[in-house]
Structure 1
Amino acid sequence: MAEQLSTSKCDSPLLQAFVDNRSILVKIAARITGCRSRAEDVVQDAFFRLSAAPQITSSFKAQLSYLFQIVRNLAIDHYRKQAMELKYSGSEEEGLNVVIHGASPEATHINFATLEHIADALSELPQRTRYAFEMYRLHGVPQKDIAKELGVSPTLVNFMIRDALVHCRKVSLARGEVA
């Protein structure tokens, strides 16, 4: 079965050879990938690579050899990638049976309530202590940078963070939560 893709001539002799031999290239890729659909993807990738490649001024036989080698290499890469994905992925049924701990509505409510209590506990602290705690624990700012910004020693910042943490634990324990 002859496959007519384009009646117009391409700019490059290499691209013209590609268009003229597309069905053979797909067959080569299909032998490696095991699927005609994937082979079509490989050949399309090869075309895009060739269209961006510099012009090759060699014999027609050398150009065909170059085309076949590009398609072969891309098909092997595609096959390896597919094998790797199959190795590390499971079936859809396996995914449906995965248990996500803490994903119940009750757990979500408890976690949200705990965060609200901690936010309330933080609002009871002096502003400078709360700022130091939030910058260090939530934003990951180093204590020495917080100390420079507040105009205090890094040791004092360390104590402010510790005091805020102790206060949050006391509030959580008073409300019956585990901190």
Structure 2
Amino acid sequence: MPKTLPTQQHLALHDLFVTRRQTFINAAARILGCRSHAEDVVHDAYIKLSAASMVPSIQSQSSYLLRVVRNLAIDLYRRQALEKRYAGSEEEGLYIAAPGASPETSHESRETLEMLSSALAQMPERTRYAFEMYKLHGRTQNDIAKELGVSPTLVNFMVRDALLHCRQALKRMESKAH
């Protein structure tokens, strides 16, 4: 049976969450950019703390609770960013050759790769390098920015530009095929 807070602490925690709920939601929403995810984070923080055997006695429990909410929001943001990084669109999945694919599919996949390679070769060297390091080698945009001597924002734009260029090349290839 999980330990719970003594009744008095539980009521104080509940009252604090009720009175400061909007503050907690706003703090999480600033990090996540989504109000419904922020509400989930605040709910998770409440559940997590109410299941704890004790809330540390600190000067400002409101600040402590805000820190817990912010930490949970940051964790969720990082998890979502990681999932987004490794998840592709359904459209991108159409171009992945399955093991034991037919010769036609293998040929189409090879053509697509050659076309994407050609599209990337048209990009400025720095943009192509940033894209390859980020998308193919899993480097962070901050690391790439330091290496290239530019801002992480510029690296983000370079990766975005290369991705858009590749998508446009794919669309042109598809329109020629049809």
TM-score band w.r.t. shorter chain? 0.3 to 0.5
TM-score with structure 2 setting the length: 0.47
Which has the greater radius of gyration? 1
Q: TM-score, normalised by structure 1?
A: 0.47
